[in-house]
Structures are given as structure tokens and as C-alpha cells.
Amino acid sequence: MIRKSAVALATMGGLLIGGPLDRAAPDPVPHVAIERIQANPNIHPAGRLRGRTLTLALEARSGRWYPMAEGGSSVETMAFAEGSGPLLIPGPLIRVPSGTEIRVSVRNRLTVPLVIHGLGTSVPRQVPTR
């Protein structure tokens, strides 16, 4: 069980991921499909809140991010999605009232292990690849 205040959750930078795929790269060949990472406007909170419990499924995948403009240069990097939804930067927004129990599952679709920081534990947890 994880209990955090809304303020603490808003600053949970430990949900950001990165690693060996973080590199500048030319755009892929047009016939090679790679998922495009979307900018998260942080308007809608992630997960399903029922009573005092938030249930959230996160999935880590790699994709192509265009940080400056849609037609500009891109970077292949890792990002989170809510379930099988679109990859988002920053990742899905976790916003809950103080005292809410948060139940999070993380699926790692990357080719490298994933280390999670900031989900109610002082010890980072490694999520193996699947």
C-alpha cells in the first residue's frame, strides 16, 4: 500500500526513465514503423479512482520523440504509456487526493531492465524485460 499526498505525487520525478536508447538518431526509413511519442498535456489524470484507491497500469516502451517540432529532428528514447495507450512525455499524470491508496503495475516492454524510483519505496525496484 502506498500513501502519498497530492503534492508529493505531483513531484514524483522518479517515474522518468531513460537509458541506452537515449540517443539522437535520424528519422527511420519510411517503411519502418516506430511508435511516435506524444506530448502529454497533463490534463487528465491516469488510472481509475474508485473510492480511496487508484489503480494504474503503466507500460514502458521505446518510441520516437520530436522535442522541437513535428517535422524536426527526433530522438529514439523510452517512455511510459498508460496500459497499451500512447507513449507520453512526460509520462501519465498521477494525481490523487491525500490519503489515497495507489496500486501500480508496471510492464516492461523494453529490451533492457527498468529501474523504478519514487513509488513509495526508498529502494529502487528493478522491472525485468518481458
Task: Say how many domains are in the chain.
Answer: 1
What is the pLDDT, as a whole number, of residue 127? 74
Q: Mention every residue, 6+ apart, whose C-beta is less than 8 A from residue 23.
A: 75, 76
For 103, the domain range is 3-127
Q: Mention every residue, 6+ apart, whose C-beta is less than 8 A from residue 8.
A: none
Query: What average pLDDT does this structure show over 63-91?
Result: 91
Q: Mention every residue, 6+ apart, whose C-beta is less than 8 A from residue 70.
A: none
pTM over 0.85: no
- The confidence band for 110, taking pLDDT boundaries of 50, 70 and 90, is very high
Q: State the CB neighbour count (10 A cutoff) for residue 100.
A: 19
